[in-house]
Amino acid sequence: MRVGAVIVAAGRGKRAGGDVPKQWQFLAGKRVANWTCARFTERHDIAEIVLVIHPDDRAFASEIKDVRIVHGGETRDQSVLKGLEALNGENTHVLIHDVARCSVPSHVIDSVLSALRHAKGAAPALPVTDALWTGQAGLVSGTQDRSALFRAQTPQGFALSEIIAAHRAHTGGAADDVEVARAAGLDVVITEGDEANLKITTPSDFARAEALLEQSMDIRVGNGFDVHAFEEGDHVILCGVRVAHDKSLKGHSDADVGMHAVTDAIYGALADGDIGQHFPPSDPQWKGAASEIFLRHAVNLAQERGFSISNVDCTLICEQPKIGPHAASMKNEMSRLMNLDASRVSIKATTSERLGFTGREEGIAALATATLVKL
Ligand code: MG
């Protein structure tokens, strides 16, 4: 099973208010469409993602990574078909998702995918729990049995060739892709939906969606500690900055004790070992290596797992050299290497009051904390 996804974002979303269509409005610091796409790009079981947009929205869409942009048609149906036709033919299945459902929980996607192993179509839904009435002129005119009614959600999943054929044969619009599939005779299995799979429709939905995204936030904290001893030399490298000194730090790599502590803090937050495990000192290829190789590896690993680094705090512990005059350049260099705003990077220093090995100027110790966030 090779699965592609089509995210439909070509609508104009007028009911939600605002100057731009709802999918391009900001929610918890990112555009709605960016949140929605991230739900799919962060998964390893989805091979390809096509984002169908209105041609006017190209500038907004260009910010989104790891998706292919396709221009939609006049109607939702036409947009979906354009997205389906743009998918690589190697895909056997497709998930069609509404961009306005930006908080879709991963278990909803999991259930659709697992149903597709045995069915040509599968889509999430929730049973109707409220009583249902019919009404006329402000009065209840009747009641409606709700036992066989469901509230449909997305992503709706299908065998790719079947849903393409169904869309080509279908004319005259449809509420969703399940309707198109059923018109072509495909059976669609109902999978478990979730109240958290909210569709942003009206202005008040933005606040609800924001609260849902924040509830599902995954926050990790990691710490790192490192020590390097002094040896003969004329400079040290601390947090990527060369500082003149009457000694150097001894180590297999460039012995950047501050950068090592920060790197280990990131690995720690990911619960994924430490520098020594990823870059064994026994391996000669890391001898004299610039420590930024280690830091970039940890930062990329965090990114691959869907985390962004919220902040990093590093304390260097030594009597000499004096860190103060170099702290700003260390902060800038660390922020550049991690691609993180400087306001999220702290580099500070302390002495150990002449006590212990740092007090005797036998080496430098560093302590770091990193916070990682996944929404
Ligand atoms: Mg080290």
Strand 139-144 to 218-232 pairing:
unpaired
Task: Quickly state the pLDDT bin for 30 (edges 50, 70, 90).
Answer: confident
- State the pairing for strand pair 3-9/48-53: parallel
Centre of ligand 1 from the C-alpha of residue 224, in Å: 10
The predicted model gives 257-281 an average pLDDT of 96
CB 275 within 8 A of CB 290: no
pLDDT single digits (tens) 294-338: 999 999 999 988 898 999 999 999 999 999 999 999 999 999 999
**Hunting for tokens 């790599």 — which residue is that?**
253
Distance CA 143, CA 231 (A): 86
- 92, 246, 122: which is closest to 189 by C-alpha? 122
Separation of CA 240 and ligand 1 centre (Å): 13
Distance 353 CA to ligand 1 centre (A): 23
What is the number of residues in the chain?
Answer: 375
Task: Using pLDDT thresholds of 50, 70 and 90, give the confidence band for residue 222.
Answer: very high
User: Apex CA 55: angle with CA 53 and CA 57, to 5°?
Assistant: 70
* 321 C-alpha to ligand 1 centroid (Å): 18
Confidence at residue 212, expressed as pLDDT on a 0 to 100 scale: 86
CA of 256 to the centre of ligand 1 (A): 7
Q: For residue 302, what are the contacts with CB-CB under 8 A and spacing of at least 6?
A: 266, 269, 270, 308, 309, 372
User: Ligand 1 centroid to 91 CA: how many Å?
Assistant: 46
Q: pLDDT (tens digit, 9 = 90+) per residue, 285-304?
A: 888 789 999 999 999 999 98
Give the residue among 112, 77, 74 at the shortest CA–CA distance from 93: 112
Ligand 1 centroid–CA 374 distance in Å is 28
Tell me how far apart the alpha carbons of residues 124 and 115 are, in angstroms, rounded to a whole number.
10
- Residue 262 CA to ligand 1 center (angstroms) comes to 10
How many Cβ atoms are within 10 Å of 298's Cβ, its own excluded? Answer: 27
* Residue ranges of domains in the chain, CATH in brackets: 3-216 (3.90.550.10), 218-374 (3.30.1330.50)
- The structure's pTM equals 0.67
Taking alpha carbons only, the member of 355, 74, 104 closest to residue 96 is 104
Q: Tell me the pLDDT band of 248, cut-offs 50, 70 and 90.
A: very high
- Residue 154: predicted pLDDT: 98
The residues placing their C-beta within 5 Å of ligand 1, an ion, are 226, 260
**249 C-alpha to ligand 1 centroid (Å):** 10
